[in-house]
Amino acid sequence: MYAAVVQEGDTCFDIGANVGWIALFLARMAGPSGQVIAFEPVWPNYARMCVNIQGTINVKAPIFTMPFGLAESEKTAVIHVADGRFEGGSLAEPEGATPGQVVHYECRFLSVDVFLRDRGDLAADFWKVDVEGAELFVLRGASEHLAASHRPLIVAEVYAPWERRFGYGPWDFLAPLAELGYRFLFLCPGGLVEHEPTGSAPFPPEFEHGYNVVAYVPGRHDRRIERLAALRLGTGQALRVGRGPHPNRALPV
């Protein structure tokens, strides 16, 4: 999916980069004329990401690593990591974990708008957003950038059980994007499903066992979306989709 939507020369934001494997893949897709900016606020992840990037010699775009996360504002906040599973670290307290199983990391965050304010004409063609339920806050922190008609293609986790820990649901994240002209492909077991979200039906039934969404703008991202045609549900090319720990069920608005 990433190979279809990322083009040579792209500027990619990897928001929630973990240890850098997706950043490296995006860099290979964007090529030497592109660039990847990888945001990772948790120190052990950030350190491992730098090692992974420096130890990989493939022809690739330059990767700029940022030791902070993106959120709705500039702040310091705690990310909680349960059972040593850094890929699931979240600003929300983990459910069902005993205190001794959780390690707390004080992390720095900026908003997209603050990060870009003094960086000239820097703007991303592509965002990958993987922040364990805090996607809405990344979006809120980019309000000035999006109001200036920047429209990156976005692949984001939209997983209701994690979002509920922050007091919101999938519709709260999808609605502002829809108002900006975005449409959506939901990555479901077996393939991508196009769906127009509403408050009562933010995603299609098949998405109960999925958690990634492609948000695109018709007319701006058409060539990229055309390359996803073979991955749509019913084309015969099944997609393997990792399932979340709980069914992805949104509460009706």
* pLDDT interval class at 99 (50, 70, 90): low
* pLDDT (tens digit per residue) in 3-37: 999 999 999 999 999 999 999 999 999 999 999 99
DSSP at 105: E
Mean pLDDT over the full length of the chain: 92
Domain boundaries, the chain: 2-231
* Higher per-residue confidence, 41 vs 96: 41
Helix/strand/coil percentages in the chain, nearest 5: 30, 25, 45
**H or E segment and range at residue 185:** strand 183-188
Q: Which residues pair with 76 in a beta bridge?
A: 108
Q: How are strands ordered across the β-sheet holding 35-39?
A: 63-66, 35-39, 11-15, 126-129, 153-157, 212-216, 183-188, 191-194
* pLDDT (tens digit per residue) in 168-199: 999 999 999 999 999 999 999 889 999 999 99
pLDDT at 253 over 70: no
Tell me if 36 sits within 8 A of 14, measured CB to CB.
yes
Residues 6+ apart with CB under 8 A from 219: none
CATH architecture, domain 2-231: 3-Layer(aba) Sandwich (3.40)
pLDDT at 64 over 70: yes
Listed residue (194, 195, 228, 190) closest to 210, CA to CA: 190
pLDDT at 65 over 80: yes
pLDDT at 237 over 70: no
